[in-house]
Structure 1
Amino acid sequence: MSERTKPSVTVLGLGRMGAAIAGAFLGTGHRVTVWNRTAAKAEPLVARGALGAATAAEAVTAAPLVIVPLLGPGAVRQALGPAAAALPGKTVVNLANSTPDEAREIAAWVAEHGADYLDGAMMALPQTVATPDGFFLYSGSREAFTSFRPELEVMSPAHYFGTDPGAAEIHDLAVLGTGYAALAGFLHSAALLDSVGTPPEVLAPLAAQWLNGMAAFLPELAREAGSGAYAEGVSTVDLNRVAVGNLVRLSAAGGVATDVHDPLKALLDRRAADGHGQDSFSSVFELLRARNTQGGGTRVRGPVG
């Protein structure tokens, strides 16, 4: 069997992520065409062997795979609009930050212009592009994901969540929500320790070690929440209710804002009041998850590939 020919790739938008992505494709020997509204940003990549396009339409024409790491859906439309005539037969990978509905709207527009579409969410920083430390989430055309998966994996490990173009954005926001909660908790703790003279730099390595342990605990929480079996949990609602209550009281006494942990305390109090104090902490999931209009609590699971 002959070796697969590497397709040419176009990258529209050369911010920090776009430049890192174009550089990754150059590093793997792909023919790369780049375009940026400010043409000077393309010069370092052209010096490395990329082809600079004068217009977005010229860039789209140059390759079957068009990667669009722009800031938002408005920027994507501004870039692709003038290139609409060049879109038929292309595959567009939209990496802009957007809502699920915005992703679906762009997918429909791209389809109307004869191109295939993948929506992508970048769970990476510029320095983690093309490394195992980052990963990208995708949804949309299954054929496009399968055909161009080797190219998608050049950027970072790729995870596919089905044909709904909005699915990648839903999963992106879910993963971000986990991280934001941890970061907000760290900043609250830093403020708490600052009130007694301990700088954030002292907290950081301790918190990092603790969060590594919490990350290792996530599969167990997921198993309990997924099965609804909370009776055997090692960390109960009542145990955590006391700890979170102490944290809130200590913060308030020291003049530190309690906004971060007040909602969790309220959830734990509700769970205990409902008679579930001895259930696992993960049973808070039952107060958070969406329920159908009949109140049956049916879960909707998206496909993962």
Structure 2
Amino acid sequence: MSFQSKQAVTVIGLGPMGTAMTEAFLAAGHPVTVWNRTAAKADALVAKGAERAATVEEALRAHELVVLSLTDYDAMFAVLGPAAAALSGRVLVNLSSDTPARAREAAAWAEEHGARHLTGGVQVPPSGIGSSESATFYSGPRDVFETHRPTLEVLTGTDYRGADPGLAALHYQLMMDIFWTTMSGWLHAVTVAEAHGITAEEVRPYATSIVSSVPGFLSFYTPRVDAGQHGGDVDKLAMCTASVDHITQTAKDAGVDSSLPAAVLEIFRRGLGQGHADDSFTSLMETLRKPAA
């Protein structure tokens, strides 16, 4: 395909992610117009062939397809609000992170100004942009997604979750819930290890092994969870609670902040108080459905 035959794209927001996206579009032969609050961040991209817009309004008017890579939706409203008159006829692919509720709000706001809105949740860091093995959740109007899918697949593989604009944000936050909880647990563990003179590198093969076992647990517990079956034939919450108590005490004994495992312990103890001692730890879903007072 010639350079001219590729769909033109505007990218607003040139942090590490927006920069990686722009570079991927350029490498694939797409004309790209860019805008960023700090104009100098566009210099290297302009040198590679991108066009620099002087204003947000100019960036919006440049092309139909507009990719947003901003900190959150507050940033989107702050950036696009003053240029709302230029939104008519545009497709906003909002790859900024925020909540499902904010995504729905943004989609309604865009529609009020004559634009279509696709919510996106990128599942990889900037280094994963440009790889078909990476993936991004999308939701919003199906026809808009299908029309622009070939261009969006320059960035990553696509996973369309439905017409509700909040669904991509929801799936993204579900994955971030797992990711940050896991990584925080790892960081706490290596901090406790460090207090005992053990390096993160020494812990790494064991940490890798325990994380590698998780898919098996997910496969085992998922059908039970979906069926609402939390029998204690394999694990019992009482024993699990004792384990988390030991983790918490180990951190305290090492002089390390124990608030992370203590937060988990508090949830487990609430489950015990609700009569789930002989049930599986998955019975804590009942506890989690009712936030602590």
Q: For the superposition of Structure 1 and Structure 2, which TM-score range results when normalised by the shorter chain? A: 0.7 to 0.9
Tell me the distance in 1 between the aligned counterparts of 2:84 and 2:288: 43
Offset of 1:225 from its aligned partner?
Answer: 1.3
Structure 1 vs Structure 2 CA RMSD: 2.5
Offset of 1:116 from its aligned partner?
Answer: 0.5
Q: Quick one: which amino acid aligns to residue 258 of structure 1?
A: S
Aligned to 1:129: 129
Asked if residue 88 in structure 1 is aligned to residue 54 in structure 2, the reply is no
Superposed CA deviations along residues 31-58 of structure 1, whole A, max 9, x for unmatched, are 2222223332222222222222222222
CA contact (8 A) 1:7 1:64 kept: no
Map 1:5-16 to 2 at 5 A: 6-16=6-16
Aligned to 2:268: 268
Tell me the distance in 1 between the aligned counterparts of 2:272 and 2:71: 44
Aligned to 2:106: 106
Unaligned stretches of 5+ residues in structure 2: none
Aligned to 1:195: 195
Map 1:218-237 to 2 at 5 A: 218-231=218-231, 234-237=234-237
* TM-score normalized by the length of structure 1: 0.83
Tell me the distance in 1 between the aligned counterparts of 2:217 and 2:26: 39
Q: Quick one: which amino acid aligns to residue 142 of structure 2?
A: R
Aligned to 2:138: 138
Q: Quick one: which amino acid aligns to residue 167 of structure 1?
A: L
Q: Quick one: which amino acid aligns to residue 243 of structure 1?
A: S
Aligned to 2:38: 38
Offset of 1:216 from its aligned partner?
Answer: 4.2
Aligned to 1:178: 178
Residues 152, 275 of structure 1: alpha-carbon distance in 2 compared, 3 angstrom cutoff:
same
Query: Number of matched residues?
Result: 287
Offset of 1:132 from its aligned partner?
Answer: 5.0
What percentage of residue pairs aligned between the two structures are identical?
Answer: 38
Offset of 1:115 from its aligned partner?
Answer: 0.9
Offset of 1:91 from its aligned partner?
Answer: 0.6
CA contact (8 A) 2:190 2:200 kept: yes
Tell me the distance in 2 between the aligned counterparts of 1:142 and 1:236: 45
Residues 143, 290 of structure 1: alpha-carbon distance in 2 compared, 3 angstrom cutoff:
farther
Unaligned stretches of 5+ residues in structure 1: 292-305
Which is further off, 235-244 or 154-163?
235-244
Map 1:50-89 to 2 at 5 A: 50-89=50-89
Asked if residue 150 in structure 1 is aligned to residue 150 in structure 2, the reply is yes
Aligned to 1:48: 48
CA contact (8 A) 2:132 2:153 kept: no
Q: Quick one: which amino acid aligns to residue 17 of structure 2?
A: M
Residues 38, 186 of structure 1: alpha-carbon distance in 2 compared, 3 angstrom cutoff:
same
CA contact (8 A) 1:104 1:166 kept: yes
CA contact (8 A) 1:73 1:96 kept: yes
Tell me the distance in 1 between the aligned counterparts of 2:216 and 2:153: 25
